[in-house]
Structure 1
Amino acid sequence: MVNAVIAEDNRHVMDILKKFLIRKNVEIVGEASDGKTAFHLTDQHQPQLLFVDIDLPQLDGLSLAKLVKTRYQNIKIIFTTGYKEYAWKAFEIDAIDYLVKPFTEERLSICWEKIKKNIRLNLHFEPKDFLLLKNDRGIDFVKTKNIVYITSEQRYTKFVTLSHGTKKIIKTPETLKSIQEQLDRKKFTRTHKSYIVNLDYVKRIEPSGQTYMIYFDQINDYAYLSKHYLNHVYDILQ
């Protein structure tokens, strides 16, 4: 799965980038309006992509990119700015593209082609209709459309499925990360470090203390939605 941090202090530009990347099945793991916050998010999540506005408060985009590159050389950087004259400095830092604001949908598509070429991943992912889950008894065949949510539980990953009104629980030693890579990103999304949720079953989301609760159709279970993933989930649901 491809993920990204966006460092941009213009809310309108941030929204344009988010919507475009979500349509490309990119997970937004961090959003920042200043350079220091962007650096901490990049350090925490180590994304594959980092979109950076050059004119950021606290720590400018060029300085941020240099810091990131000293630690994580494989992160691909795309600069956004209203000033063409910084382009040569951006490419000195080995940026893969330089978007001058305001940019068009066509220009973003050109940028996306450069991203695909650089990260060398198969972004034309075809989600599976079935998952094969290994466990102590053998292998369970699970229809992905029947999965309500998935959660990590001690040494296991627990699947909660629903078929013809019957709830079933399946456990596997496979990790959440390896499972998420097999699922359709338009339907299944990470909502918490320990949860993946099938958005087709979401009935409502409610605040609960410092976090949020997700409630489902047809079953009384709930899942957690952390503030970190809140904007990403809302963007997908819109």
Structure 2
Amino acid sequence: MVKVGLVDDSIYDLEKLNISLSSEEDISIVFSTSDSEEAYQNIKKGQIDLLITDIEMPKLSGYELADLINSYALDIDVIFVTGFSGYAVHAFELNVLDYIMKPYSKERLLKGIRRRVQKNKLASDTKKLVIKTKTDIHFIDKKDIIFIERTGRSTTIVTVDDEYTVYTPLAELEEELSKKNFVRSHRGFIINIHFVKNFSLYTKKSYLVSFQNTKRTAMVTRANLERIQKEYF
């Protein structure tokens, strides 16, 4: 089941989204609103898998909502549905799942949503993560990954046996990992919940994460910790 949030300042276009998706058995519409600030409040709750949003809207734009998702490191994909083609390059810099031009068919919309389903299926079906360092290619058991940290332009993958430094962005690695085990806890971290030992208050809005099998720590935002506790513990 894909849990979806819908936002479009055009009542007509919002109603079209609702009609297109409400009859699909594997899609659940969590919220539907023409007010982008209301969408903002709903997004922060972390209760959706996918946000389908217009780009040009009063108050907050679709870009700003996508930035919010990145800032809170929420596990939410974004599909932009817009009448303007000029935003496409910037949109994909935000690593959006799809960019759909109005007017569109129901089939075109569902094609974009299926990408989310397929991405999750591939991540859970593949047991090995293939990474390339400067000199080698490694095949890592995903179940052995404790956490992943992004620092500057480099990414460190900490496993039960070793550490690997690569230049792959977190968003790309996140697509390869099962959402059943791995959580984007912070904009700079992905953690394996099965290795979590405890959370310690660090600042008003973040916690340190301690793990089994390593003395290294990661970070989790307060909002994501609440979501993790609700969904996994």
Query: What interval of TM-score do these two structures reach, taking the shorter chain for normalisation?
Result: 0.5 to 0.7
Letter in 1 for 2:155: T
Letter in 2 for 1:36: E
Q: How does 1:176-187 map to 2 (within 5 A)?
A: 176-187=170-181
1:152-183 CA-to-partner distances (Å, cap 9, x unmatched) read: 122211000004xxxx1101111100000000
Gap change, CA 1:67 and 1:203, over 3 Å in 2: same
Identity %: 21
Gap change, CA 1:136 and 1:227, over 3 Å in 2: same
CA distance in 1, matches of 2:210, 2:221: 14
**SS of residue matched to 1:230:** helix
Does the CA contact (< 8 Å) of 2:36 and 2:59 recur in 1? no
CA distance in 2, matches of 1:149, 1:120: 28
Does 2:229 correspond to 1:234?
yes
Give the structure-1-normalised TM-score. 0.54
Does 2:153 correspond to 1:155?
yes
| 1:232 to partner: Cα distance | 2.4
The aligned counterpart of 1:49 is 51
Does the CA contact (< 8 Å) of 1:158 and 1:169 recur in 2? yes
Letter in 2 for 1:179: L
**How many aligned residue pairs are there?**
166
The aligned counterpart of 1:134 is 132
Q: How does 1:25-174 map to 2 (within 5 A)?
A: 36=37, 38-39=39-40, 48-49=50-51, 67=58, 71=62, 74-75=79-80, 116=110, 119-121=113-115, 123-124=117-118, 125-126=121-122, 127=124, 128-163=126-161, 168-174=162-168
| 1:118 to partner: Cα distance | 5.3
CA distance in 1, matches of 2:40, 2:201: 28
Gap change, CA 1:145 and 1:118, over 3 Å in 2: closer
Match for 1:189 among 177, 183, 188? 183
Gap change, CA 1:217 and 1:39, over 3 Å in 2: closer
| 1:67 to partner: Cα distance | 4.2
| 1:194 to partner: Cα distance | 0.2
CA distance in 1, matches of 2:217, 2:5: 28
**SS of residue matched to 2:226:** helix
Does 2:210 correspond to 1:215?
yes
Gap change, CA 1:155 and 1:202, over 3 Å in 2: same
The aligned counterpart of 1:84 is none
RMSD after superposition:
4.4
Letter in 1 for 2:216: D
| 1:229 to partner: Cα distance | 1.9
Does the CA contact (< 8 Å) of 2:132 and 2:138 recur in 1? yes
| 1:69 to partner: Cα distance | 10
| 1:191 to partner: Cα distance | 0.4
| 1:37 to partner: Cα distance | 5.5
Structure 1 residue ranges without an equivalent (≥5): 8-23, 29-33, 52-64, 77-92, 97-113
CA distance in 1, matches of 2:180, 2:170: 17
Give the structure-2-normalised TM-score. 0.55
Gap change, CA 1:195 and 1:4, over 3 Å in 2: farther
Gap change, CA 1:133 and 1:68, over 3 Å in 2: farther
